[in-house]
């Protein structure tokens, strides 16, 4: 990744978080920056990194540059309530994403999602692109209905609520990375668990969203609890089968963020149907849920796909992970309510991103060449060669020198 792209992503992501705190300066009734906060992180930064990762080129491709340009235009149009261009731009973006998906996976129809031969990591990867293109394509009729025609009205389906869905493709590509970094063992039970996790995550979130719109309590609790158990099983699988790379500690931390997201989500559902559902209680819980989802879980996956060709970069540093947790769990939630903590949160987040994007070491080309086969979502063979396994696990290989920076025990 070029330093220009790193700097641009650093700026967009920091601005995204900053927009989440601008209600301290400008009342939302005057100008609501929450929409820009969501767009800059999920669509502009996350979507661009998804395209960059799928293209698997050292520099951002022409399609990636076009996506970033139109994503910024879409974000600006939606923020300024320019709904005519906001209805047209996502159609262009959807076409770009579909072109990238078809070029990478070789088929207009996502048939591979329904075959047992396709690795689960590739299924998550294709699902992320498909979800992004469908979400963008649906944006136009949703905006048309919400702002112009008013064909139907659903109380829970606000335009800002729909735009939150752009975070789901980022969650799916994070899952793709996690499953691609697991050892591919031939155990039938393990394969079934991975396949089940794919379908529960994808169908579960869609069904859960429908139950939210219908405002049905018990099914929401059941589906959200099932999703929590699925994430817990993914954590177990990754802990047991994850290849010992620097990414493992960082991604494990990301899954723990996702577990907190699940717990706070269940808590918010229970609270929303109780007599304690008042802003003094519900808003802090909702903010914690949102911050752990975006800047905890999603950021973990985005950093790994964005810098997959640059390792080793010391992602397993305990100080780095502590800074990440302090920023997301403490400073950001407090910053939403207290201006001083908002300043500290943005400064800490900017520092964190600077380390994540610009920290570097001597790139181990041999390690990266093997690693790239995994992270580019091409999938590992069922039976890995001994040299591949040793290079990926950080064990001592037959080569003259070992790979100390690829292990979890090396120092920060």
In this predicted model, what pLDDT tens digit does every residue of 20-40 receive, in sequence order? 999 999 999 888 899 999 999
- Given a cut of 60, is residue 368 above it in pLDDT? no
Token pair, residue 409, equals 């025990």
Half-sphere exposure of 331 (CA within 13 A, CB side): 23
Mean pLDDT of the chain: 85
Q: Please name the residue that has the structure tokens 């529960």.
A: 200
Higher pLDDT, 22 or 403: 22
pLDDT the model gives residue 116 = 86
CA distance 307 to 331: 26
Nearest CA to 122 out of 303, 310, 373, 297 is that of 373
pLDDT the model gives residue 314 = 64
- Given a cut of 80, is residue 387 above it in pLDDT? no
Average pLDDT over residues 32-52: 94
Q: What is the CA radius of gyration of the chain?
A: 21
Higher pLDDT, 160 or 86: 86
CA distance 242 to 19: 36
- Given a cut of 90, is residue 372 above it in pLDDT? no
pLDDT the model gives residue 27 = 92
Cβ neighbours of 110 (radius 10 Å): 16
- Given a cut of 70, is residue 386 above it in pLDDT? no
pTM: 0.87
- Given a cut of 90, is residue 404 above it in pLDDT? no
Highest mean pLDDT among 216-230, 243-257, 390-404: 216-230
Total number of residues shown for the chain? 412
Burial class (CB in 10 A: 0-12, 13-18, 19+), 198: buried
Higher pLDDT, 17 or 188: 17
Nearest CA to 325 out of 267, 388, 249 is that of 249
Higher pLDDT, 365 or 316: 316
Name the pLDDT band for 366 (thresholds 50, 70, 90): low
H or E element that contains 191 = helix 188-214
Contact 83, 148 (CB under 8 A): yes
CA distance 332 to 342: 7
Name the pLDDT band for 402 (thresholds 50, 70, 90): very low
Highest mean pLDDT among 53-57, 164-168, 245-249, 328-332: 328-332
Q: Under DSSP, is residue 401 helix (H, G, I), strand (E, B) or coil?
A: coil
Contact 234, 255 (CB under 8 A): yes
Least confident of 77-86, 154-163, 306-315: 306-315
Contact 177, 123 (CB under 8 A): no
Higher pLDDT, 383 or 331: 331
CA distance 124 to 113: 9
pLDDT the model gives residue 312 = 53
- Domain architecture of the chain: domains with CATH: 3-380 (1.20.210.10)
Which positions ≥6 away from 186 have C-beta within 8 Å?
382
- Given a cut of 70, is residue 405 above it in pLDDT? no
Which positions ≥6 away from 274 have C-beta within 8 Å?
none
- Given a cut of 60, is residue 224 above it in pLDDT? yes
**What letter would DSSP give residue 328?**
I
* DSSP codes joined into one string, 54-76: HHT-SS--HHHHHHHHHHHHHHH
CA distance 33 to 75: 11
pLDDT the model gives residue 111 = 92
- Given a cut of 80, is residue 200 above it in pLDDT? yes
pLDDT in tens, 285-331: 999 999 999 999 999 999 988 887 665 566 667 899 999 999 999 99
Contact 214, 233 (CB under 8 A): no
- Given a cut of 50, is residue 385 above it in pLDDT? no
Nearest CA to 240 out of 187, 200, 299, 195 is that of 187
pLDDT in tens, 107-145: 999 999 999 889 999 999 999 999 999 999 999 999 999
Q: What is the dihedral of CA 158, 65, 2, 129, to 10 degrees?
A: 50
Token pair, residue 97, equals 């994403």
């Amino acid at each position: 990744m070029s330093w220009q792209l790193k700097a641009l992503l650093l700026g967009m992501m920091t601005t995204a978080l900053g927009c989440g705190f601008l209600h301290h300066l400008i009342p939302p009734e005057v100008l609501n920056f929450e929409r820009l906060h969501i767009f800059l992180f999920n669509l502009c930064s996350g979507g661009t990194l998804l395209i960059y990762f799928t293209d698997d080129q050292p520099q951002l491709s022409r399609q990636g540059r076009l996506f970033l340009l139109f994503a910024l235009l879409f974000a600006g149009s939606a923020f300024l309530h320019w709904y005519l261009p906001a209805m047209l731009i996502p159609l262009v973006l959807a076409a770009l994403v579909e072109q990238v998906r078809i070029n990478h996976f070789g088929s207009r129809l996502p048939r591979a999602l329904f075959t047992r031969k396709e690795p689960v990591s590739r299924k998550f990867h294709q699902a992320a692109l498909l979800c992004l293109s469908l979400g963008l394509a649906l944006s136009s009729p949703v905006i048309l209905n919400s702002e112009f025609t008013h064909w139907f009205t659903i109380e829970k389906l606000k335009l800002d609520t729909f735009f939150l869905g752009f975070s789901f493709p980022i969650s799916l590509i994070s899952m793709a990375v996690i499953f691609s970094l697991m050892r591919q063992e031939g155990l039938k039970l393990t394969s079934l668990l991975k396949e089940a996790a794919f379908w529960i995550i994808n169908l579960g979130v869609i069904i859960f969203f429908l139950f939210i719109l219908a405002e049905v309590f018990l099914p929401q609790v059941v589906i959200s609890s099932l999703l929590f158990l699925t994430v817990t099983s993914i954590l177990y699988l990754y802990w047991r089968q994850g290849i010992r790379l620097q990414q493992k500690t960082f991604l494990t931390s990301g899954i723990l963020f996702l577990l907190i997201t699940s717990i706070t989500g269940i808590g918010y559902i229970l609270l929303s149907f109780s007599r304690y559902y008042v802003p003094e209680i519900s808003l802090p819980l909702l903010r914690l849920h949102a911050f752990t989802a975006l800047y905890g879980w999603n950021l973990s996956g985005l950093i790994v796909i964005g810098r997959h060709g640059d390792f080793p970069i010391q992602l397993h540093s305990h100080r780095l992970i502590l800074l990440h947790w302090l920023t997301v769990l403490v400073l950001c939630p407090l910053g939403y309510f207290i201006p001083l903590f908002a300043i500290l949160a943005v400064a800490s987040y900017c520092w964190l991103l600077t380390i994540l994007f610009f920290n570097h070491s001597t790139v181990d080309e041999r390690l990266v060449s093997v690693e790239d086969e995994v992270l580019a979502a091409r999938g590992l063979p069922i039976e890995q060669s001994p040299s591949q396994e040793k290079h990926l696990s950080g064990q001592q290989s037959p080569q003259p020198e070992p790979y100390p920076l690829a292990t979890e025990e090396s120092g920060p």
